[in-house]
Amino acid sequence: MFENIAVVGATGAVGGIIRRLLQERNFPFKTIKFLASQRSAGNTVDFRGESHRVELLTPEVFAGIDLAIASTPDDVAAQFAPWAVKHGCVVVDESGYWRMKPEVPLVVPEVNPEAVQRHQGIIASPNCSTTQMVMALKPLHDAARVRRVIVSTYQATSGAGLAGSRDLNGGTRAHISGQDYEYETFAHPIAYNLIPQIGSDKYQGYTSEEMKMVYETQKIFEDDSIQVCPTCVRVPVTNCHSESMLVETERKVTVDEARRLFAAQPGVVVKDDLATGAYPMPRDCNDNDEVFIGRIREDLSSPNGLAFWCVSDNLRKGAATNAVQIAELLVQLKTAAV
């Protein structure tokens, strides 16, 4: 057990879910701190029926803290994580800053739990779109070795933070009423629209969000030969990311085998009956920790290809849940070592 823990970015959208999950999953600890930037420090949050004052994120605040679970912008993570590690604290970080650092393990507990043992004080949780994709790829890779993935994402506005959700709601109301709306987050209207760009121009016409899916997938599976061709699209959906995937494996995986493999994978739920209209949809997957898979079918253009549809709550398994699961994995390792 970690005796003294902290939630960093405790007042944000993901931070709020982390607080809720620590309660729901009865995470073990003796004391807890809630930390945030100057803007939110001094506010209060409810936790286990008590009101807690949010403390300012400073180097000194990590004295005596054993574990920190953090969801902050990259620049904040770059600054505070070394403070925490210097005080002997282990950091589970949700930001993008540490993910591709060679010395920092990038972990999805159902996929590569062994990697957590290599940490040097910081453990990174992947990008939300990567997390649900590797959850789906894991059983296929173990059974038949994944060689290539073509993936198109349909990413909810909650992935852009609270302002993204405000933009969807405000922009939709304005569109219906024929009024103008000044968007906070998106460069183009998201109401009644799709935006085929998430992130900045990164590499040969691919965006930063798309390249995360390439590099993070290869790091998690420790296999740079896995080819990933992503297209990331922002859609007018409040929450839950959807992904259309075409996966090529070394040997053929039939639909029946794929269903069995997916069903046996921890954290994956198969919902796949086209005749009755049973398949995952964002509104049905909201506030769930699992990755839902449906529309499983053989690729008509490749002998070893498999196509399917995948939906997951990007704020839970794509962010908060995965971070808390990493922390639980650390607790298990500490307990086993005693």
What is the model's pTM? 0.95
pLDDT tens per residue across span 53-92: 999 999 999 999 999 999 999 999 999 999 999 999 999 9
Residue of 89, 119, 241, 310 marked catalytic: 241
The domain locations on the chain are: 4-125+319-337, 130-314
Instruction: Domain 4-125+319-337: state its class.
Output: alpha beta
Contacts of 142 (CB under 8 A, 6+ apart): none
> Mean per-residue pLDDT for 84-104?
97
Thinking of the domain 130-314, which architecture would CATH place it in? Answer: 2-Layer Sandwich (3.30)
Q: At what angle do helices 128-144 and 255-264 cross, to 10 degrees?
A: 120
Same CATH fold, 130-314 and 4-125+319-337? Answer: no
> Mean per-residue pLDDT for 18-37?
95
Work out the percent of the chain whose per-residue pLDDT is above 70.
100
Q: Distances in Å between the alpha carbon of 22 and those of 1, 29, 45, 237?
A: 13, 10, 14, 27
pLDDT at 262: 98
Position 241 confidence tier, pLDDT thresholds 50, 70, 90? very high
Alpha carbons 19 and 122: distance in angstroms, whole number: 20
pLDDT tens per residue across span 300-322: 999 999 999 999 999 999 999 99
241 is catalytic: yes
232 is catalytic: no
Residue of 89, 128, 232, 310 marked catalytic: 128
pLDDT at 336: 82
Q: For residue 118, give the nearest of 96, 138, 90 by alpha carbon.
A: 90
Q: At what angle do helices 128-144 and 208-221 cross, to 10 degrees?
A: 40
Is 232 within 8 Å of 133 (Cβ atoms)? no
Statement: residue 334 has pLDDT above 90: no
Q: For residue 106, give the nearest of 234, 218, 252 by alpha carbon.
A: 218
